[in-house]
A and B are shown apart, each in its own frame.
Chain A
Amino acid sequence: AQSVTQPDARVTVSEGASLQLRCKYSYSATPYLFWYVQYPRQGLQLLLKYYSGDPVVQGVNGFEAEFSKSNSSFHLRKASVHWSDSAVYFCAVSMDNYAQGLTFGLGTRVSVFP
C-alpha cells in the first residue's frame, strides 16, 4: 500500500519569506501526486497536481512543486508567502487517476507572521 510522509507538522515563516513543504511517498511505481490546502473551517482546495512530464509543476497562488523520482518526493514551494497562506497543507497520492481514492499525509500547518 502506498503511504505519504509530511515530516513537518508545523512551519512558521515571516511574510515575504520563502516556503518549502516536504512530502515523500512510498509506492513502487510513480503515483499521481497532489497538493491540497485546507483553510480554517473549510474543505480542501487543489493547489496543483503531477501526473507526468515536466517535474516542476505550477499551481495556483504562486505555488509550485517539484517531483523527484529518485527521492520519491514531491516538495511544495512558494517564493514569497503572504499572511493569507496560513493554512494546513496536505500532500496526497493516488495509484491512478480514476479508480482509486487518495492517500493523504498528516498535513503541515503553516503560520505566516507579519
Chain B
Amino acid sequence: GALVYQYPRRTICKSGTSMRMECQAVGFQATSVAWYRQSPQKTFELIALSTVNSAIKYEQNFTQEKFPISHPNLSFSSMTVLNAYLEDRGLYLCGARGRHNNQAPLFGEGTRLSVL
C-alpha cells in the first residue's frame, strides 16, 4: 500500500539552531508534497507546496529563507527549520499526493519539534 514516512518523529533543538526533517513516499510517486505546521492548540497551516517541475510555492508568513525545502525526486522531500525559536515548535506534517486525480493527500506521522 501507499505510505508516507517522516523522520525523525521527535526532535529537540536549542533556540537559534537549525533542524532538518525528512519525508519519504513509499508505494507511490509523490508528484506534489506539501509541508504543514500544527502549532500547539492550533490547526494545520500550509507552509509550502512543492510540485515536480514547478517552483516551490510558499504561503504568506513562511519563506524559503526560514524553511528551505528540497524535493529532488518522486519519493523524497526534506525541509529545514533554520534558526528555530519558540514560535517554531509544533508538529510538522508532510502531505504527499500522487499523479492520479482521485488520490487524496497521504500524511506521515509528523515530526514534533521542541525548542529549548
Contacts and interface: CB of A to CB of B under 8 A. Distances in A.
Interface in A98-112: 98-107
A37 to B, nearest CB: 11
Interface stretch (A13-21, A45-53, A63-71, A76-84): A45-53
Contacts of A34: 104-105
Given A43-B6, A90-B43, A101 B95 contact: yes
B34 interface: yes
A106 B44 CA distance: 8
B80 interface: no
Contacts of B61: none
B49 A98 contact: no
B107 A36 contact: yes
B44 A90 contact: yes
Interface size, A (range): 20 to 34
Contacts, number: 63
A92 B43 CA distance: 11
Contacts of B6: 43
A97 interface: yes
Contacts of A97: 97, 101-104
Interface in B84-116: 91, 93, 95, 97, 99, 101-110
B24 interface: no
Contacts of B34: 101-102
Contact of A51 (B36, B42, B91, B102): B102
B110 to A, nearest CB: 4
Interface of B: 6, 31-32, 34, 36, 42-44, 46, 49, 51, 54, 59, 91, 93, 95, 97, 99, 101-110
12 contacts: A34-B104, A36-B107, A42-B109, A42-B110, A44-B93, A44-B95, A46-B105, A46-B106, A90-B43, A97-B103, A101-B49, A104-B36
